[in-house]
Structure formats: C-alpha cells, structure tokens
Amino acid sequence: MTIDSARPAAPAAPGTERPPPPPTKHAAPAPAPAPGGCSPRAPAVSLQVRHVAVPGPEVEPLLEGLHAEYTSRYGPNDEINRYPGERFTPEHGGAFLVLVEHGRTVAGGAFFRHDGETAELKRIWTHPDHRRRGLGVAVVRELEREAARQGYRRIYLTTGPRQPEAAGLYLATGYTPLYDLGADPETVGPHPFEKIIRGSA
C-alpha cells in the first residue's frame, strides 16, 4: 500500500519563503496476519494520510462511527467526548490522523501523552465497508512512526472487553497484553497492551 503523508507546514520567516517540497510517498508495511492465520486483504489503491485537528470535517465520520460502535456494544455512553481535542495535538504531545481514499475518511486513529516516554493510542477505527483491507494495521504503524518522531519510546493502550477484533489487531501488530489472555474478557475489564517502539536513549 502506498500512502502520502500530509501535514500542515510551519510558517517560514518573512523573506525566507520557499516552495514546499512535494509530498513524500512511502510504502506502508505489509499487513500482519490476523489471528487464526487469515491475512487482511491489502489495499490496491493509494491512500493519503492526513494529520487533522479535532473537531473537523475529516474526523467526523470516524467519531460518529466509533460512537455507533461503542453504543452497539456497551449501550449508551459518552466515551467519544471523554478527552478534549487539544490533547490530540502535537503541541500537547499528541496526534490525530485519518486515511483518506477518493476524498472520504476510511480509517484513522490518534494518540496523546500518557507520560514522558509513553504515547497512548486512542480512537482506532476503520469504516465497516473497508475492513479486512489492512487499514487498521496501516493506522497503527503510522501512529507508531509519529510517536517515535515525537520522542516517545513506548506505546500503551486499552481496548474494551467486547471488542475482540481490536485485541486481535494489537496482538497481530506486536503488542504485549498486560492481562491474562485466558481470562473471561468481561472479568478483566479494559484490556491493556504495550509496545516498545525504540530503545532507551
């Protein structure tokens, strides 16, 4: 899968403006096999990665999709409004990105600062019509790269007990479960994971 990374450029000092370089294209990692040995279907077209602010029109499909999914699995809740948008900005040690295909948001995710060396993943989502394409893997990999660029060495996250697909995604992308995989998910509560993304300085 080829993706174009797009992020707002920092303003140049007066009199030093120069034309921006063309967007950098890079090949995303091959999707990791899903649990059970079934590999996600790889995307056949290019996608654009966009770093976005919350709220914003490109984020709305993701937030609405997540809210519907949380409600269907856990009942009425306000999880989607739990964290203010500024926590997902680089100025506060965070990031929010979406994958855009043919002008539509098809997947995305975010992280915020958990502690001085740890980013916490949040809001990982893929549109139901675009699942089994490896987009969730691509989102996680992009977030890991951005977290490393911001100086983090560890990723932490939690997912709910009624989201086995999410747990499978994190296991497939190399995350270590911080709970007993053999326990009844409902007795565990939130399922925590971690991953070291770079060595200590």
pLDDT at position 46: 85
Please give the biggest Cα pair distance in the chain.
Answer: 63
Sign of CA pseudo-dihedral 26, 153, 165, 74: negative
Query: How confident is the model over 86-105, as pLDDT tens digits?
Result: 999 999 999 999 999 999 99
Residues with Cβ within 8 Å of residue 1, at least 6 apart in sequence: 27, 28, 42, 43, 46, 47, 134, 138
Whether the Cβ atoms of residue 130 and residue 106 lie closer than 8 Å to each other: yes
> Is pLDDT of 121 > 90?
yes
Measure CA of the first residue to CA of the last residue in the chain; give whole Å: 32
pLDDT at position 1: 61
Write down the pTM of the prediction: 0.79
Query: How confident is the model over 30-51, as pLDDT tens digits?
Result: 444 433 333 444 444 689 999 9
